[in-house]
Chain A
Amino acid sequence: MGVVLGNIIAIYRRELQSYFVSPLAYAIAGVFWLLSGLFFVLILMGPEGILQTVTALDLQGQQFGVPVPPIDVPYELVRAFLDRMGWLLLFVLPILSMGLYAEERKRGTLELLATSPLTNWAVAVGKLLGVLTFFITMVVPIMGIETIALSASSPPMPPAIPLLGHLGLILLAAAILSLGMFISSLTDSTILSAVFTFALMLLLLFVDLIAKNIGGSMGDALGHLSLLKHYNTLVQGIFDTSSLILFASYILLGIFLTAQSIDALRFQRS
């Protein structure tokens, strides 16, 4: 067990090192920060932003003496922002996951990995942890910016809901990255891998819409597969064990399939 853990950590370190010296990774991070920062500022302070709308409502209420219905501005801000972030992930995550195995295949290092004494799933777990860590380092500065805004709320907002929302974001990312890793292990073209991951993500996000049209227990089962639905549950502030189980299932499935596909590679080559 200790050996496996050591292996995972070794792979994890190797992955992290490759990310933190890679200009591509930093470029992705830069673009991600720019886009999410733009979203955040627009949602909060833009001409159609929450602050403007609420101020206008409050003014109206004062002028006409109509009581304004209560609005939880920070809560709305977190929800709206995390909703946009969910969409942004759709574009960013396939780029992060595309190189995980496809790059190794292209460079020919995959044979080394496949024939090394490391178990395939340990490699997969290490790689997933690496890319997830990188993603979290991308999210943390954004959370810092959010904290500045949320600290100005009056009365102050308890941190449970934003934290749960961001946990949802990270779980969503982990699920997508895990499946993207599997797709990446199937091909030696990073572009193809990114495109297929993107397509799969769209499918999993929109399966909810298909399910609604089907209805019945079949529709319910399909609807349960929807990533977006469970992400929204967490973002709303509902801690639902079935959502956590679903995310965990996707992550496990991705790791398992990756290990299987590398396993198959071993036999094809031998």
Chain B
Amino acid sequence: MKLLAKKKPLKILFWFGPFLLAAGLTSGFVSQNWGPIQLTLIILGTLIIVLWLIWQNKQNNWLGQRSTQASTNALIATLAVLAILGLINFLGTRYDTRVDLTETKLFTLAPQSRELVRNLQVPAKILLFDVNQDPVDRDLLENYRRQSSKFSFEYIDPQARPGLARKFGVKDYGEVYLEFGDKRQLVQVVGPQQRLSEVKLTNSLQQISSISSAKVYLLQGHGEHELSGKGEGVISQAVKALNDKGYTTSALNLVEKSSIPQDANVVVVAGPKRSLFENEVKALQDYLNRGGNVMLMIDPDTDPKLESLLAQWGVKLDNRLAVDVSASVGLGPAAPLVTQYGKHPITKDFGNGISFYPLARPIDTNPVPGIQATPLLLTKAYPNSWAESDQQSENLKFNPESDRKGPLTLGVALTRKLSAKSEATSNSTPTPTPTATPQTQASPTQRATPTTAATPASPTQRATPTTAATPASPTQRAKPIAAATPQTSASPTQRAKPTTPATPASPTPTTTPTATATPASPTPSSTSGESRMVVLGNSDFIINGLFDKQLNGDVFLNSVTWLSQQDQQPLSISPKEVINRRINLTGVQALLLELSSLVILPLIGLVVAAIFWWIRR
């Protein structure tokens, strides 16, 4: 009795061993953290078990028994086998061979995707903001991950991690983001209707990995949209989106600089309200002539004095207002909805998506040799939309004399081969083309700004003969330091080098017009270079609040991407499609199937069972 009483508490004490061990292991695995607490628990638990075993052994020499030896052997053998099998499986997953037996290779990545992922230098991560993990999507992502350790993916519940979701600007479940270094980009939105697509994923990956912090300058100083702040008409969302895509953005004031910086990949002129000075126009022209890329967004009722430049490219701004009286979604007739897009790399993915342009002016293009113009944005056909000349009257009516029937072009994309460029074109700028004249009268905003080019040049500029032609503006005289660094255009090779990795040659010939637009260095001398221009008859569509509506942001971002000449031709990955096959059962076959599977086979089994049962009895 005494012995039993003494033994009992010790026996209970033993259970602390496994308990502490389990607690330590569990907390370690769950928290993925093997701190002192976990280690103490594990060590304490093991110690108790070992002590108990020693004590037990002392009690009845249990270790010496044959059964103990046998079971220890068995235990060790089992553990060894488990370890070996685990190791084999580990190696098996590391060095596995997968053969896709489906005829169209449904579960295999296209060679382009594989090549791209294998050559990743920077870790790329796919973040899926969704709670449902679709097995097909997962398989696809696993396929990507198998190619490279640089690729990873994660499902994130936006409810559970709101901070991360806000960082990415997640609006809805199913949004898939690509994070590449410090850049991030929306790939697509997945849902039951639309599963993750390899085409989109690979092309986003290619795009984001090739944009090598191209420099985007946004012109300021003539009432253009402000780049930061909170006021009306600020385009900080657009600027942020550019930065997220990997562009470096900065404001450009030509009054201070007098020529476009050498590292500029794209210059954006977003809605100037006042005229540009002649030397600024000249700077833009020079920039374009040496392979630059310019985006012009010009609102109606403004005259930025760009006619001479636009005329060179065969672009003419219509001074009428584009109206759209079709039953639009409460935007009013002055904000035309665009659902038709030209065939161009900028708009190729838009389909019939919507973008809208509050107060826009139509744009005309005349064919100019050496320049290829593609209309981007088209309004609806006549009864729904036209160009209205009478903007004062309250009721909108088509006036055949002065108005123009739709469809109107609100945006064009233009390219000019630099090989076609000669000294003649670059020097022909001062000659005022006749097309420029009729428009200058109408705009009321054309106010007291001194448009005359008669201002004398600043002393610093005179010192550098290379930029002699550019007359300085009056403000320049006020602070001559600003003009102290006249950047000459002498080193054209200094331009951003194409750091894009070589794309694997796609086996199928692509028909995209960008095929020729390889990011070869756009030096003026090179024959393969070209300069690009996008002209839009509206700039308000990218102001904060409108930028993220519908496709407005995409129109802007795609334009900049195209202009930056870093848009590689999208990899021509054909979407995986199964072979179209049907089963055409004849009546006899169907009957045979039903009979054999539902009647004959089960009957055979049951009857034979009954017979044997009968025999056995």
A interface vs B, CB < 8 Å?
21-34, 36-38, 40-41, 44-45, 50-51, 54, 69-75, 77, 141-142, 144-145, 148-150, 152-155, 157-158, 160-161, 164, 212, 215-216, 218, 224, 232, 236-242, 245-246, 249, 252-253, 256-257, 260, 263-264, 267-268
Contact = CB atoms under 8 A, between A and B. Distances in A.
Contacts of A25: 609
A245 B89 contact: yes
Given A236-B102, A260-B78, A267-B70, A153 B581 contact: yes
Given A34-B598, A153-B582, A23 B96 contact: no
B39 interface: no
B585 to A, nearest CB: 5
Nearest to A256: B81
A258 to B, nearest CB: 12
B305 to A, nearest CB: 52
B606 interface: yes
B581 A245 contact: no
B601 A141 contact: yes
Contacts of B32: 216, 218
A51 B98 contact: no
B101 A72 contact: no
A246 B89 contact: yes
A264 B606 CA distance: 39
A239 B81 contact: no
Given A24-B609, A51-B583, A241 B92 contact: yes
* Nearest 7 interchain pairs by C-beta: A30-B605, A37-B597, A26-B609, A70-B580, A34-B602, A245-B92, A23-B613
B77 A242 contact: no
Interface in B65-113: 66-67, 70-71, 74, 77-78, 81-82, 85, 88-89, 92-93, 96-103, 106-107
B594 interface: yes
17 contacts: A34-B602, A37-B598, A38-B597, A74-B583, A141-B601, A148-B593, A153-B584, A154-B582, A154-B583, A155-B581, A224-B93, A238-B100, A240-B99, A241-B98, A242-B92, A245-B89, A245-B92
Contacts of B605: 26-34
Given A21-B612, A75-B578, A148-B589, 10 more contacts: A26-B605, A31-B602, A45-B593, A45-B594, A73-B582, A144-B596, A145-B593, A153-B582, A236-B106, A240-B96
A71 B581 contact: yes
A252 B85 contact: yes
Contacts of B106: 236-237
A144 B593 CA distance: 10
A154 B92 CA distance: 38
Given A23-B616, A71-B580, A237 B601 contact: no
> Would you call the interface of chain A mostly helix, strand, loop, or mixed?
helix
A30 B609 contact: yes
A147 B578 CA distance: 21
Contacts of B96: 240-242, 245
B2 to A, nearest CB: 33
Contacts of A141: 601
Given A34-B598, A218-B29, A249-B89, A45 B99 contact: no
Nearest to A242: B96
Contact of A237 (B88, B101, B582, B603): B101
A132 B592 CA distance: 28
Nearest to B580: A70
Contacts of A31: 602, 605
Contact of A73 (B99, B581, B612): B581
A111 B613 CA distance: 28
A164 B102 CA distance: 11
A26 B103 contact: no
Given A27-B606, A152-B586, A264 B578 contact: no
B240 to A, nearest CB: 31
Given A41-B598, A148-B593, A253 B85 contact: yes
Contact of A241 (B97, B581, B597, B608): B97
Interface in B121-164: 133, 135, 154
A1 to B, nearest CB: 21
Contacts of A54: 582
Contacts of A264: 70-71, 74
B598 A152 contact: no
B579 interface: yes
Nearest to B82: A253
B610 interface: yes
A241 B93 CA distance: 8
Contact of B66 (A216, A245, A267): A267
Contacts of B77: 260
Given A216-B32, A241-B96, A268-B67, A30 B602 contact: yes
Contacts of A75: 102, 578, 581
B577 interface: yes
A203 to B, nearest CB: 16
Given A23-B609, A70-B580, A238 B602 contact: no
A34 B599 CA distance: 8
Contacts of B98: 238-241
B93 A26 contact: no
B100 A237 contact: yes
A215 B133 CA distance: 12
Contacts of B37: none
A116 to B, nearest CB: 19
Contacts of B89: 224, 242, 245-246, 249
B92 A157 contact: no
Contact of A152 (B589, B613, B616): B589
B581 A72 contact: yes
Given A238-B99, A241-B92, A72 B579 contact: yes
Nearest to A229: B135
Contacts of B602: 30-31, 33-34, 37
Contacts of B589: 148-149, 152
Interface string B334-372: 000000000000000000000000000000000000000
B424 interface: no
A236 B103 contact: no
B612 A152 contact: no
Interface string B560-582: 00000000000000000111111
Contacts of A245: 88-89, 92, 96
Contacts of A149: 583, 585, 589, 593
A213 B184 CA distance: 25
Contacts of B582: 54, 71, 73, 153-154
A242 to B, nearest CB: 4
A242 B78 CA distance: 22
Contacts of A224: 89, 93
Contacts of B609: 23-27, 29-30
Contacts of B381: none
B604 interface: yes
A69 B612 CA distance: 52
